[in-house]
């Protein structure tokens, strides 16, 4: 029997609503179970109503971007998962690029270039959506979202979404007040600057080439752990003998020890076992406690 909250969501007509939808297929690590309900969002105006329905029914929700920083465990993830991938609009006004949550982060860079604006070339190769990048404070090569974000359009509940300034988001290294809060980022405005486009394109090409040289291809979720202060998680795992270590179908990359690969047949359990193994080995060998950067979504087994 279909739950009332699902019927109410269906009646909103704000995107396709699927049940028991594979989340493995929507994450770059390609492991894990299904979403009890998955909304492929098409209309951002409807989001407060969506959250209001969930709230009234006591149903949990979370937002999903490109799934490049999420590890879903096996089973069924209760409640509603809201996928933003269809919201891709990007628009440039003066020195500001405004992008919808599901736009690829790189499209902020390329739209900026199209208008003679530069500054976010560090983002080249990060497979994020704008929403995921704003929440995670994505960064590379010394740059990060918090250097450029002016404001984000945030929704928390049945109230209308509102623009919140970057200074209110408690940004830190791969941290923001939005992480795990259930709040949704629907759009974001980034400040870029007029600059030398040829030099900017050169920086972008360098960022991409650096990634190709130093990071593995294949199914992974980027850096598994945050870098502890003054340390590199990858170097700590490598020094602990982790490179190439394998559990089931999951393996620590030979190229970069902070990248954990699904060799094709990995389960979420294999990846989590490898995570525990790496944490223990690093604690034993260096005394450092590794903290996950990847967000783990625990499904009901
Ligand atoms: C090959 C590879 C390389 C990577 N390199 C980097 C790198 O250099 N630097 C870096 O910082 N990261 C890197 N990552 C990790 C990842 O790309 C970033 O964390 C990115 O910001 C996640 O964006 P996403 O859209 O995939 O978010 P998801 O993985 O879908 O979600 C991540 C978190 O954000 C939340 N979220 C997503 N969208 C929204 C939204 N609209 N509203 C509210 N919450 C939302 C989710 O609920 C979840 O908690 C890499 C990943 C891969 C696979």
Task: Give domain status of residue 227, yes or no.
Answer: no
Q: For residue 229, how far is its CA from the centre of ligand 1 (angstroms)?
A: 21
* Alpha helical stretches, state H, the chain: 4-12, 47-57, 105-114, 130-136, 197-214, 233-239, 268-286
Position 93 scores a pLDDT of: 98
Let me know whether 112 and 196 are in one domain: yes
Task: Give domain status of residue 238, yes or no.
Answer: yes
Q: What is the CATH number of the domain that holds 175?
A: 3.30.465.10
Q: Which atom of ligand 1 is nearest to the CA of 145?
A: 11
CA distances from 111 to 46, 53, 86, 182, 268 (A): 27, 36, 18, 29, 36
Q: For residue 288, how far is its CA from the centre of ligand 1 (angstroms)?
A: 25
Task: Give domain status of residue 299, yes or no.
Answer: no
Give the CA count within 13 Å in the CB-facing half-sphere of 235: 6
The verdict on whether 203 is a catalytic residue reads no
Q: For residue 68, how far is its CA from the centre of ligand 1 (angstroms)?
A: 5
Predicted TM-score (pTM) of the model is 0.98
The verdict on whether 86 is a catalytic residue reads no
Distance in angstroms (rounded) separating the CA atoms of residues 164 and 72: 29
Q: What is the CATH number of the domain that holds 283?
A: 3.90.78.10
Let me know whether 79 and 94 are in one domain: no
Distance in angstroms (rounded) separating the CA atoms of residues 287 and 283: 4
Task: Give domain status of residue 278, yes or no.
Answer: yes
Position 140 scores a pLDDT of: 98
Let me know whether 72 and 110 are in one domain: no
Q: Which of 68, 146, 223, 253 is catalytic?
A: 223
Q: Do residues 174 and 293 make contact, with C-beta atoms less than 8 angstroms apart? A: yes
Position 267 scores a pLDDT of: 98
Let me know whether 96 and 210 are in one domain: yes
Which amino acids bring their CB within 6 angstroms of ligand 1?
28, 62-70, 84, 101, 126-129, 131-133, 135-136, 138-140, 179, 184-185, 220-222, 295
Position 214 scores a pLDDT of: 97
Let me know whether 172 and 187 are in one domain: yes
Domain boundary among 83, 117, 148: 83
Domain boundary among 63, 83, 103: 83
Question: Rounded to the nearest 5 degrees, what angle is found at the Cα of 245, between the Cα atoms of 261 and 70?
Answer: 30
The verdict on whether 174 is a catalytic residue reads yes
Task: Give domain status of residue 153, yes or no.
Answer: yes
Which tokens is 229 given? 């202060």
Structural domain containing residue 206: 90-214
Query: What is the spatial order of strands in the sheet that 90-93 belongs to?
Result: 90-93, 96-100, 184-191, 149-155, 162-165
Which tokens is 200 given? 């900017």
Position 94 scores a pLDDT of: 98
Position 301 scores a pLDDT of: 81
Q: Whose CA is nearest to atom 14 of ligand 1?
A: 222
Task: Give domain status of residue 224, yes or no.
Answer: no
Q: Which atom of ligand 1 is nearest to the CA of 28?
A: 53
For residue 101, give the nearest of 149, 141, 140 by alpha carbon: 149
Q: For residue 9, how far is its CA from the centre of ligand 1 (angstroms)?
A: 26
Instruction: Return per-residue pLDDT of the chain as tens, 301 residues.
Output: 789 999 999 999 999 999 999 999 999 999 999 999 999 999 999 999 999 999 999 999 999 999 999 999 999 999 999 999 999 999 999 999 999 999 999 999 999 999 999 999 999 999 999 999 999 999 999 999 999 999 999 999 999 999 999 999 999 999 999 999 999 999 999 999 999 999 999 999 999 999 999 999 999 999 999 999 999 999 999 999 999 999 999 999 999 999 999 999 999 999 999 999 999 999 999 999 999 999 999 998 8
Long-range Cβ contacts of 225-231 (<8 Å, 24+ apart): 225/258, 225/278, 225/290, 225/291, 225/292, 225/293, 226/173, 226/174, 226/290, 226/291, 226/292, 226/293, 227/173, 228/288, 228/289, 228/290, 228/291, 231/286, 231/288
Position 2 scores a pLDDT of: 83
Position 106 scores a pLDDT of: 98
Count of domains for the chain: 3
């Amino acid at each position: 029997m279909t739950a009332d909250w699902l019927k109410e969501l269906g009646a909103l007509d704000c995107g396709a609503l699927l049940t028991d939808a594979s989340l493995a297929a929507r994450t770059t690590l390609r492991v894990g179970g299904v979403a009890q309900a998955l909304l492929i969002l098409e209309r951002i105006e409807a989001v407060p109503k969506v959250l209001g329905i969930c709230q009234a029914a006591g149903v949990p929700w979370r937002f999903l971007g490109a799934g490049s920083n999420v590890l879903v465990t096996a089973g069924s993830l209760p409640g509603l998962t809201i996928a933003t991938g269809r919201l891709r609009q990007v628009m440039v006004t003066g020195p500001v690029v405004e992008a919808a949550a599901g736009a690829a982060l790189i499209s902020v860079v390329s739209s900026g270039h199209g208008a003679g604006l530069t500054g976010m070339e560090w983002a080249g190769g990060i497979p994020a959506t704008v929403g995921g990048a704003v929440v995670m404070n994505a960064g590379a090569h010394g740059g990060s979202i918090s250097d450029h974000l002016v404001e984000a359009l945030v929704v928390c509940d049945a109230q209308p979404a509102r623009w919140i300034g970057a200074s209110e988001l408690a940004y830190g290294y791969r941290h923001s007040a939005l992480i795990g809060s259930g709040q949704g980022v629907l759009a974001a405005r980034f400040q870029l600057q007029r600059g030398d486009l040829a030099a900017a394109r050169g920086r972008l090409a360098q960022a991409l080439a650096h990634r190709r040289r130093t990071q593995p291809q294949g199914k992974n979720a980027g850096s598994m752990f945050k870098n502890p202060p003054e340390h590199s998680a990858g170097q700590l795992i490598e020094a602990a003998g982790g490179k190439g270590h394998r559990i089931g179908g999951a393996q620590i990359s030979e190229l970069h020890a902070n990248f954990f690969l699904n060799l094709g047949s990995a389960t979420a359990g294999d990846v989590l076992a490898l995570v525990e193994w790496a944490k223990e080995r690093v604690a034993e060998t260096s005394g450092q406690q590794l903290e996950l950067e990847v967000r783990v979504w625990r499904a009901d087994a």
